[in-house]
Structure 1
Amino acid sequence: MRWLTYFAVCGAVISVGLALGISLPLVSLRLEAWGYGTFAIGVMAAMPAVGILVGSALSGRLAQRLGSARLMRLCLLSGAVSVGLLALWPHYSLWLLLRLWLGMSLTVVFILGESWINQLAVEHLRGRLVALYGTGYALSQLCGPLLLGALGSESDTGFWCGVGLLVGGALLLVGRDGAPEVSSYDASLRGLLQFCRSLPAIAWAVALFAAFESMVLTLLPVYGLRQGFAPEIALLMVSVVVVGDALLQLPIGWLADHVSRPLLFQGCALALLLSSLGIPALLHTPLIWPLWVLFGASAGGLFTLSLILIGERYRDSELVRANAHVSQLWGIGCLLGPLATGAASQWVSGHALPLLMALGAGGLVVLLRGRHGLAQQASP
């Protein structure tokens, strides 16, 4: 196995997480300082999700023409240019276009990077290697805002730090080989529907985790505030969920190399269902803190196991195509999750966030117990 290439690709993708963790909150803070309302900030926040859908559709054709490794480097550099222009041209309309372009560029990096990692992984270590990548990326999401806090949001230093991280990620990939070889394929809506029909549980889990991640980062602090917690405690809850997601992925990956992966997948879905249902009842007790850890770990485990199960089934073009569909589902989950939760929180229940996550996890549990579950897939 090419260990140096594996760590280089992981480092390149993790640099994206850090760059986004610094630049995206900085954009929101800057818009708020300029006097823009929450709707305008929300529209800006949605632009990368639109870029995800566009980038997913283009990744295969571009990788066929340019090669996976070269395209990843170009997209990292393109993302660096986009972040730099955020600092140089501070204008709302231009920033909308730059955020759209940034979403498109970095989605290609995720698709090809995760495909490359799965292509490199030897089967008996696949669970741990994919989980190690997932842990690194989750920690980068946690560290990005912390780094921004240290740099300060008053100046453009955060933008330029993001530029440096993306350029550094591109340099890590120079001279690396073993990337998936891509021939032409169709990542259209028809292809996505076929993917969902062939792997419905994985498709559901990916969309559910995307909705989970976007809701935790944007709506969980609001949920905490409206349940009577101080801002510091509400933000601490977000951090505990992210830490649970990050730190328990390696044990889940280790288990994926030693026990039945479909059974482990079902266990994570059931744990997410039970933890989601337990949040309203335990929210104002000390037990909420370990429950937040379980909440984050079980949701993150579903995504890690989805990547593992995809990696054991596909190679080269089919692997890249599957990860393109994963990104499309991610974009859909990021768009629909916060919208549904925001509407339900306002008009149905103040506990809409955990209850909708329980509904999604319950649907996954039912799907896994049916004839279209994962039992027919290969396990280690």
Structure 2
Amino acid sequence: MRWGTYFAVLSAVLSVGLALGVSMPLVSLRLEGWGYGSFAIGVMASMPAIGVLAGAGLASRLAARFGTPGLMRLCLWGGALSIALLALLPSYAVWLLLRLWIGMVLTIVFILGESWINQLVVEQWRGRLVALYGSSYALSQLCGPLLLGALGTDHDYGFWTGAGLLVVSPLLLLGRTGAPSTESCRVTFVDLGRFCRRLPVIAWAIALFAAFEAMILTLLPVYCLQQGFSAEVALYMVSTVVVGDALLQLPIGALADRMSRRTLFFGCALALMLSSLAIPLLIDTQGIWPLWVIFGASAGGLFTLSLVLIGERYRDDALVRANAHVAQLWGIGCLIGPVLAGAGSQWVSGHALPLLMALGAFGLVLLARRPQALELPA
């Protein structure tokens, strides 16, 4: 196994997590300071999802043309430019377009990076190495809000830090090999429909985790502010959720190599549902801090297990296309989740965010209970 390449690809993807973690909450807090409501912030949070859908359809075709390493470098630099322009052009309308572009180019990085990692790892280590990817990415997002808290939200330092990371990280991919081969084809929504019919539980879990991640980085700071916490405490709460996601992925990955993945998957879905329901009850108590950890860990476990199940079956172009479907589902989750939570928070209930997650997890629990729910058909 090419360990150097594994860690180089991992580091490049981690730079994306850190860049998004330091810039996305700043966007939401800046809009809150400008007087925008939860719905407008939710619309802003959903814009990258449209870019995700566009990027997912183009990833395989562009990778066949430029090569996986070359295309990843171009997209990382494109993301750096977009984040820099957030600082230079402080306008709601312009930010909508920039967030769309960020979603498109960085989605291609995720598709190719996850495919490259899943192609490299050996089967007996798949659960742990894919979990290390998920855990490290979550840690990079954790460091983002913490770094933003240290830099402060009154200036644009968060944007410039994110842009700088994405300028440097493509250099790590120079000379790396072992990337999956791809064919020039476009992944359509018809293909996505077939994927969802074949793997409905995995499809639901990926979309749900995408909604979770989009809402945590964008709407959770606003939710915490609305519950009476300061901006600093709100950022620490976001970081605590990501701590849970990060720290428990490696144990989950190790368990995935040793026990029934269906049982583990069902347990994560149930834990996500129960922890989501408990958030409104414990938000004003010290119990909210360990609850944030469980909330993040259970959601992250679902995504890690989904990638493990996909990686054990697909290779080369089929693996890239499967991860393109993951990105499409990610885009759908990111698009629907923040808009529904933002609208619900403004017009239905101040606790719409955790209640929406509980509802999605309940649907996943029902799907995962079916016999052979996680078996992959030929």
Question: TM exceeds 0.5?
Answer: yes
- Cα gap change, 1:244/1:146 in structure 2, threshold over 3 Å: closer, same or farther? same
Comparing 73-82 with 187-196, greater Cα deviation is found at 73-82
Residues 152/131 of structure 1: CA separation in 2 closer, same or farther (3 Å cut) = same
- Give the distance between the partners of 1:3 and 1:281, measured in 2 at CA: 45
Deviations 1:191-228 (A, max 9, x none): 11111101000000011111112222333344445455
Q: Distance in 2 between matches of 1:107 and 1:376?
A: 25
Q: Which residue of 2 aligns with 1:37?
A: 36
Shift of 1:31: 5.5
Q: 2: distance between equivalents of 1:83 and 1:343?
A: 26
1:294 CA displacement:
1.2
Is 1:59 the counterpart of 2:92? The answer is no
Deviation, structure 1 residue 275: 2.0
Q: Is the 8 A contact 2:243 2:296 kept in 1?
A: yes
Aligned to 1:195: 195
Q: Which residue number corresponds to residue 117 of structure 1?
A: 117
* Paired amino acid for 1:81: L
Distance 1:246 1:252 in 2: 11
The amino acid of 2:365's aligned partner reads V
Aligned residues: 377
Residue in 2 that maps onto 1:127? 127
Q: Is the 8 A contact 1:51 1:101 kept in 2?
A: yes
Q: Does 209-218 or 347-356 show the bigger shift? A: 347-356
CA distance in 1, matches of 2:101, 2:249: 31
Cα displacement (A) at 1:352: 2.8
Name the residue aligned to 1:317: 317
What aligned pairs does 1:206-355 form with structure 2 within 5 A after superposition?
206-227=206-227, 232-355=232-355
- Report the RMSD for the aligned CA atoms in angstroms: 2.5
% identical equivalent positions: 71
Preserved CA contact (<8 Å) 1:79 1:105: yes
CA contact (8 A) 1:12 1:168 kept: no
Ranges in structure 2 where 5+ consecutive residues have no aligned partner: none
Q: Which moved more, 1:313-322 or 1:94-103?
A: 94-103
**Partner amino acid for 2:244?**
G
Deviation at 1:158, TM superposition (A): 3.6
Matched residues in 1 for 2:138 and 2:363: separation? 25
Whole-angstrom CA distance in 2 between matches of 1:42 and 1:354: 15
Rounded Cα–Cα distance in structure 2 between residues aligned with 1:80 and 1:134: 22
- Of structures 1 and 2, the one with the larger relative CO (CA 8 A, separation 6+) is 2
Q: For the Cα contact (< 8 Å) 1:10–1:113, is it kept in 2?
A: yes
Distance 1:21 1:292, change over 3 A: closer
State whether residues 204 and 364 of structure 1, in contact with CA within 8 Å, keep that contact through their aligned partners in structure 2: yes
Residue 312 of structure 2: SS of its match in structure 1? helix
TM-score (norm 1): 0.90
Q: In the aligned structure 2, how far is the partner of 1:347 from the partner of 1:223? A: 14
Q: Distance in 2 between matches of 1:270 and 1:110?
A: 27
- Structure 1 residue ranges without an equivalent (≥5): none
The residue number in structure 2 matching 1:162 is 162
Partners of 1:178 and 1:13 lie apart in 2 by 16
CA deviations 1:335-367 (Å, max 9, x no partner) are: 111222233344444433333222211111111
Q: In structure 1, give the amino acid aligned to 2:361.
A: A
Q: In 2, distance between residues paired with 1:77 and 1:172?
A: 13
Secondary structure, in 3 states, of the residue corresponding to 1:219?
A: helix
Deviations 1:7-49 (A, max 9, x none): 000000001111222333444555566x463466554433222
8 Å contact from structure 1 (residues 276, 354) kept in 2 = yes
| Larger CA deviation: 68-77 vs 42-51 | 42-51
Q: Secondary structure at the match of 2:263?
A: helix
> How many Å separate the matches in 2 of 1:274 and 1:227?
20
Residue type of the partner of 2:36?
G
Render the CA deviation track for 1:62-100: whole Å, top value 9, x for unaligned. 011111111111111222233334445555544433332
Map of 1:18 onto structure 2: 18
Which residue number corresponds to residue 362 of structure 1? 362
Matches of 1:25 and 1:364, distance apart in 2? 28
CA contact (8 A) 1:78 1:105 kept: yes
Judge conservation of contact 2:268–2:298 (CA < 8 Å) in 1: yes
Q: Would the aligned equivalents of 1:185 and 1:317 in 2 still touch at CA under 8 Å?
A: no
